[in-house]
Structure 1
Amino acid sequence: MTTSSKFLFRASVVAASVAAASSAYSAGFALNDHSATASGKALAGVAASNEDISASFWNPALFVNAKETTVYVSGAYVMPSMDVTVNSATDTSLAGSSSLGTDSTDDSVDNTLVPSFYFAKPLSDKTVAGISLNVPFGLSGDYGTDWAGRFHATETGIQDIALSFALAHRVNEWTSIGASVQLHKAEVVLESQVGSVAGGEGNGRIEADDIAYGYSFGVAFEPRKGTRVGLGYRSEVDFDFKGNVEYDAAAEAASATLVDTTVSDSITFPSLLTVSVEQDLTSKLVLGLTAIKTGWGSMDGINIDFDSTQSNSVLTFGFKDQWMYSAGLTYTYSDKLTLRTGVAMDNSPVTDEYRSARTPDGDRKWISIGGTYDFNDMTSATFAFTHVMIEDVSVNRDGTGEDLARGKLNADYESSANVVSVAMNMAF
């Protein structure tokens, strides 16, 4: 029992670093609401947009949209829902498995506020300096310690905050370029039950963080009046997480080999490639198209080092690079009001083979609406609403291989999300 408890914690709780359990808005654990303007059209045309500076997250060249000193502040309130039905679950089979029942959960994901901030300062008629603050990746969720899959996962929290410094330059009337350097601060909270029904169980918790660096570059073209094309790239970010693992009294009583110690692990967050086109159909109506590739393949596995007598634990994720596609319309209703709508297909990086309680991820479809009201030439307010439909998926872990110390779990997941975004744009 002590050996299985120790391995269970090492092999299962660390997987939360790529959990999708509460990232119901975007596939994997990416967060794609960095602009209420872009969200209103499901990111359609975002890397080619000439509307405001918030599109610079996907393409830093679009800081040239600022003609004056400009501040754009956006916030998205993500309201996910995930219903879990456990069909069967057992604990570790190393010392004889026991049924864990079918207690499920329908309140395992938390509402989350995703903030974004952009500041642009023109240095000349052609060059703009920009600063932005975003949360590119994140999730927050808690299954609780009573559900039948508690040896596979309980609490998970991830937050990546990125501070970017950018320069954008208008080369000529139809070409702009831009680039940024980024400072990332990421924190991870991972929690899981350890032990077994027969020998007693307790709780283990990891808290770790790191600071890392990334970059982005982009280019925007307007080859003819009314036709805009944009391409932006955000780099992978390599984190070397360091932190602590702590066990509660029940876990320590169940096994003397479970000791508080320090931990470390290296994780590479994925790159983002965005290609967009915008076409003015009339003087008031604009069509936008976007394709976004997220390099999830960089997260194919994990190797965590417990700085004690516990040996390293290796866990396979099997993520695959995936694309998101969107199309949308922007309509200038009047001098004061602009309306938007869009749809998107966001493909999950998780494969059936490796889907788990940590990654119960499915393909997503978005339906978005939004608009902007201009109070005057200097100030505007933007809103957006997105409904995300997520494919029903099943988790079927047979208790062998990497799950030898976790036990078996068979569960069905039904998920969706609603997202409300608001923003203020102010020029000085």
Structure 2
Amino acid sequence: MTTFSTRSCILFKASVVALAVASASSAYSAGFALNDHSTTASGSAIAGAAASGEDISFSYWNPALFLNAKKNTFYVSGAYVMPKMDVTNISAKNAIAFGGSPISGSTTNSDSVDNAFIPAFYYAMPLSDDTVGGISLNAPFGLSGDYGNSWPGRFHATETSLKDVALAFSVAHRVNDWFSAGASVQVHRAHVVLASAVGAATPNPGTEGLGKIKAAATGYGFSLGVLMEPIKGTRIGIGYRSKVKFDFKGDVKYDNVAGVNQALAQKGYQLVNTSAEDNLKFPDVLTISLDQALTNKLRLGLSAIHTGWSSISDGLNIKFGSKQPNSVLTFGFDDEWMYSAGLTYDYSEAWTLRTGIAMDNSPVTDKYRSARTPDGDRKWYSLGATYHIDDSSSASFAYTYVSIEDVSVNRDGSLPEDASRGTYKADYASSANVVSLAYTKSF
């Protein structure tokens, strides 16, 4: 009977974890980070992102790049992410305590990820010839998806949603002709909705229910950046975004758990609607970039981006407002790098063309890959263009195809955290198409 409670705790632990592991629709970038904060940058696969002199949207990776504004300037960007995830060869069994019997449901699932819109906004205001103030609004982390309530892996995950919005206030200063620096402070607000089945999949009525958690948190971060131009045409940028700690607080609500609670009666606690809380420390990001002029019209961009995923490697420990035991879930994430290279070509006074490729390594390890973390390494293939409407305004477009490594999940019950969830196996084939549009205006 203890397995009912343990299962529910673990499931809600796993649900909160789903904020951070993008099992649903973060097909665009490894882990749970969202990388489309600039249509301009996306056109070249974020190559040269911390060193570019094109516009103020690159300030996301390096706040010193607000100095790209010579006048009051705003930049608005939006990316529409269209992910695809085919889950095949699905099989799941109840925990041994429930007899280890197979869980019914389809062996395939191709409708578990949702399209998503990622907005970004920047405003720059020169304070002097060498100093610029800036404000930006971004969605650094996010995911959305729903496996459904009847698939075999429903005790591992059903619905998952995360929205994180960050408001940043920045200042950038040109120290001399070859060195500039910038900094920002950020306020993040994150909302979570997640659900999973609780109980056991057996023929006996009332032994399976559904639980859902909604939570929110505010976190704070900062960023620092420097830009160096040792010789004309060679720009080197380094930007750092700090870790952000979220103390999530919310509530848990259950449906159809009368039979589950009968099994728990002798244990002195029930699955009841109550509070739930835990914390996540979203990772820091270090970006090192080169923007090199090859000719008067052609530039090469290179970026290496390190994400400190190990900040959430130990996992979570959810505390409930009832007598339910705390729940522990391990991530086992590794720190990883993303590498990109791209070209920018000034085709004419009106048109600038871009292309780029990138390799984005997943932080998920084979041992801990699960229904909530079916993550694989990604390759980006990007192209884009900017049309300069006049001297003070332009419109940009970018398209990225993301190819994701095929992976298999094999939760065979050997991990202690799966003792009451049962086993789960499946193969995942994923990809994504991303279309981005932007408009910028100076005045």
Query: Structure 1-normalised TM-score?
Result: 0.98
Q: State the alpha-carbon separation in 2 of the partners of residues 357 and 328 from structure 1.
A: 34
1:97 CA displacement: 2.1
Deviations 1:309-361 (A, max 9, x none): 01111110000100000000000000000000000000000000000000000
Q: Decide whether the 8 Å contact of 1:14 with 1:190 is kept in 2.
A: no
Name the SS for the 1:375 alignment partner: strand
SS in 1 for 2:57: helix
Deviation of 1:255 (Å): 1.8
Question: What do residues 111-145 of structure 1 show as CA deviations (whole Å, max 9, x unaligned)?
Answer: 00000000000000000000000000000000001
Amino acid at match of 1:259: V
Q: Does 1:421 align with 2:427?
A: no
Deviation by residue 1:186-228 (Cα, 9 ceiling, x = unmatched): 1111210011122521110011111111000000011100000
Task: Please state if 1:153 is matched with 2:180.
Answer: no
Give runs of ≥4 in structure 1 deviating > 6 Å: none
Amino acid aligned to 1:242: K
The equivalent residue for 1:8 is 7
CA distance in 1, matches of 2:105, 2:151: 8
Instruction: Tell me the equivalent position of 1:27.
Output: 30
Aligned to 2:48: 45
1:100 counterpart residue number: 103
Q: Which amino acid aligns with 1:305?
A: K
- 1:86–1:102: 8 Å Cα contact kept in structure 2? no
Does residue 183 in structure 1 map to residue 182 in structure 2?
no
Counterpart contact for 2:19–2:143, Cα < 8 Å: no
Q: CA deviation at 1:18?
A: 2.3
How far does residue 154 in structure 1 lie from its aligned partner after superposition? 0.3
Equivalent-residue separation in structure 1 for 2:296 and 2:277 (angstroms): 56
Distance 2:21 2:182 in 1: 33
Structure 2 letter corresponding to 1:295: G
Q: CA deviation at 1:102?
A: 5.3
Indicate which of 258, 261, 282 corresponds to 1:255.
261
The reply to whether residue 407 of structure 1 matches residue 432 of structure 2 is no
Structure 2: distance between partners of 1:310 and 1:31? 34
Asked if the contact 1:93–1:399 (Cα under 8 Å) also holds between the matched residues in 2, the reply is no
Matched length: 426
- In structure 1, give the amino acid aligned to 2:213: I
**CA displacement at 1:254 relative to structure 2:** 2.8
Instruction: State the partner residue of 2:387.
Output: 373
SS in 1 for 2:148: coil
Work out the CA distance in 2 between the residues paired with 1:135 and 1:29: 11
Decide whether the 8 Å contact of 2:19 with 2:142 is kept in 1.
no
**TM-score normalized by the length of structure 2:** 0.95
Alignment of 1:8-157 (within 5 A): 8-15=7-14, 16-21=18-23, 22-101=25-104, 103=106, 104-157=108-161
Asked if the contact 2:6–2:325 (Cα under 8 Å) also holds between the matched residues in 1, the reply is no
Alignment of structure 1 residues 140-219 onto 2, 5 Å: 140-198=144-202, 199=204, 200-219=207-226
Query: Retained in 1: the 8 A contact 2:105–2:150?
Result: no
Q: Which amino acid in 2 is paired with 1:91?
A: N
Select the residue among 271, 292, 301 that pairs with 1:279: 292
Please tell me the root mean square deviation across aligned C-alpha atoms, in Å: 1.0
* Residue 174 of structure 1: how far off its partner (Å): 1.1
Q: Shift of the alpha carbon at 1:14? A: 2.2
Residue pair 1:192, 1:205 contacting (<8 A) in 2 also:
yes
After TM superposition, give the deviation of residue 282 of structure 1 in Å.
Answer: 0.2
Which SS does the other structure have where 1:298 is aligned?
helix
1:14 aligned partner, one-letter code: K
The residue correspondences of 1:348-363 to structure 2 (distance < 5 A) are 348-363=362-377
Residue from 300, 304, 324 that aligns with 1:291: 304
SS at 2:349's partner residue? coil
CA distance in 2, matches of 1:87, 1:210: 34
* Partner SS state of residue 349, structure 1: coil
Q: CA deviation at 1:9?
A: 1.9
Query: Contact 2:19–2:32 at 8 Å: present in 1 too?
Result: no
Asked if 1 retains the 8 angstrom alpha-carbon contact of 2:39 and 2:436, the reply is yes
Give the partner amino acid of 2:228: F
Contiguous gaps of at least 5 residues in structure 1: none
How far apart, CA to CA, are the structure 2 residues paired with 1:281 and 1:329? 10
Taking the aligned partners of 1:97 and 1:56, their CA distance within structure 2 comes to 53
Q: Give the 3-state SS of the residue equivalent to 2:58 in structure 1.
A: helix
Distance in 2 (CA, whole Å) between partners of 1:93 and 1:191 is 23
Q: Deviations over 1:88-113 (max 9, x none)?
A: 21122213122114513101000000
8 A Cα contact 1:18 1:359, kept in partner: no
Amino acid corresponding to residue 350 of structure 1 in structure 2: V
Which 10-residue stretch deviates more, 338-347 or 250-259? 250-259
**Aligned mate of 1:321, from 332, 335, 347:** 335
Aligned-pair identity in percent equals 62
Pick which of 81-90 and 358-367 moved more. 81-90
